[in-house]
């Protein structure tokens, strides 16, 4: 018999992948180009990195039952981890000096188009 914990992890993993795919689609329809998905660094992971012109979005994707739960799930600890990973990514970009960085969230909730929330937190 399969471990129920393993099955739950797989469902969450698939739900997260689907949520990131929907979030990326929503951003592309708004004119953003997706530069990276699940960008891993030694300091943490960035769900999506998107760009339109000189604006770069560092996007946290939250799949939750409600928009309120998605908004509340971005905590200060997450913010520091995301900021640190974004700093590493930005330092590797040849045009980093002219890029504007913004921290956004896309909430994926049931039976609703993904909700793009700009400036979910301000970086340092």
3-state secondary structure 46-114: EEEEEEECCEEEEEEEEECCCHHHHHHCCCHHHHHHHHHHHHHHHHCCCCHHHCEEEEEEEEECCCCCC
pLDDT surpassing 90 at residue 13? no
Domains of the chain are: 4-121 (3.40.1350.10)
Q: Which tens digits make up the pLDDT trace of 74-111? A: 887 788 889 999 999 999 999 988 999 999 999 999 99
pTM of the model: 0.87
């Amino acid at each position: 018999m399969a471990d129920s914990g393993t099955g739950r992890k797989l469902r969450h993993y698939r739900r997260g992948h689907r949520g990131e795919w929907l979030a990326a689609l929503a951003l592309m329809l708004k004119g953003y180009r997706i530069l990276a998905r699940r960008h891993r660094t030694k300091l943490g992971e960035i769900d999506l990195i998107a760009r339109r012109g000189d604006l770069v979005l560092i996007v946290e994707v939250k799949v939750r039952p409600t928009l309120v739960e998605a908004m509340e799930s971005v905590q200060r600890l997450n913010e520091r981890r995301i900021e640190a990973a974004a700093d590493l990514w930005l330092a590797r970009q040849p045009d980093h000096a002219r890029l504007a960085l913004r921290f956004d969230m896309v909430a994926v909730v049931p039976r609703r188009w993904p909700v793009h929330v700009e400036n979910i937190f301000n970086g340092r």
